[in-house]
């Protein structure tokens, strides 16, 4: 992947950006996550929309998101009646996107939306710019899982990602045009990077800040998620994107 030497002349995200926010039981975070997104996008995007994907939440996440969508035409809600998985949430959010660029991050507010400023200057250099957590603020076991996962994905798919699952990425919507994602869970990031590689796209990697979760609970490091990711990895290896 490319080194991060930005083109400082690029000030705005030309063509507009669709922000996809997957959310599962984020009633204490979702409203602030959307407000953070709006504040950042007002500075860096010519046009924008915010797509909240509620992945079968059992709390008030969908209710809060629906109220925001009623009050703001720039916000839309995609709702899963039951939990379909992180990858499915992102895939359905990507499919709902209408603008030239797609940016996604998680609704748990462990990333600072304003740091999209760090990614914008590189959009003149690549159709995909991806963050990597400069100092990951997660429990030790989850850090270990993440490091092993990134190395394994790099080896199997010939990638050079520093932090495969970092949920702070922006890419041109044309990359995924007509593509149906296979990974309903954690492998969606690896699949997206493999798809970009199959199209000759070399992402730029940029360090971003990471913060401890303040509200809600994490699910990404659970044994169930890890086992599911292993199954998805085997499937994706034999059905990788590409000609």
Q: Where are the domains of the chain?
A: 17-238
For domain 17-238, which architecture applies? Alpha-Beta Complex (3.90)
Strand 75-80: give its sheet, edge to edge.
Answer: 75-80, 48-55, 17-23, 101-105, 168-172, 128-133, 204-208
pLDDT surpasses 80 at 10: no
Closest CA to 86 of 113, 117, 55, 52: 55
The percentage of the chain sitting over the pLDDT mark of 70, rounded to a whole number, equals 92
Burial class, 66, CB count within 10 angstroms (exposed 0-12 / middle 13-18 / buried 19+): middle
pLDDT in tens, 12-36: 788 899 999 999 999 999 999 999 9
Closest CA to 61 of 1, 118, 106, 10: 106
| CA dist., res. 77 & res. 115, Å (int) | 24
DSSP assignment, residue 241?
Answer: S
What pLDDT is stored for residue 217 in this prediction? 62
Three-state secondary-structure class, residue 165: coil
Q: Can you give the pTM of this predicted structure? A: 0.90
């Amino acid at each position: 992947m490319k080194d991060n030497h930005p083109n400082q002349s690029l000030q705005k995200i030309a063509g507009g950006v669709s922000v996809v926010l997957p959310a599962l039981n984020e009633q204490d975070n979702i409203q602030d996550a959307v407000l953070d997104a709006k504040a950042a996008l007002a500075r860096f995007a010519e046009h924008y929309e915010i797509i909240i994907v509620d992945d079968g939440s059992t709390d008030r996440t969908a209710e809060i998101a629906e109220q925001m969508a009623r009050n703001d035409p720039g916000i839309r809600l995609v709702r899963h009646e039951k939990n379909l998985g992180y990858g499915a949430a992102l895939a359905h959010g990507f499919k709902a996107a209408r603008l030239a660029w797609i940016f996604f991050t998680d609704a748990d507010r462990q990333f600072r939306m304003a740091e999209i400023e760090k990614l914008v200057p590189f959009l003149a250099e690549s159709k995909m710019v991806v963050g990597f957590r400069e100092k990951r603020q997660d429990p030790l076991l989850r850090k270990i899982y993440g490091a092993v996962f990134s190395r394994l994905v790099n080896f199997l798919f010939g990638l050079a990602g520093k932090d495969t699952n970092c949920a702070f990425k922006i890419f041109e919507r044309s990359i995924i045009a007509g593509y149906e994602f296979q990974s309903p869970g954690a492998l969606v990031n690896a699949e997206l990077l493999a798809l970009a590689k199959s199209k000759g796209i070399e992402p730029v990697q940029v360090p971003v800040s990471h913060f401890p979760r303040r509200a809600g609970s994490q699910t990404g490091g659970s044994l169930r998620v890890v086992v599911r990711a292993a199954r998805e990895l085997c499937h994706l290896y034999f059905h990788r994107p590409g000609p």
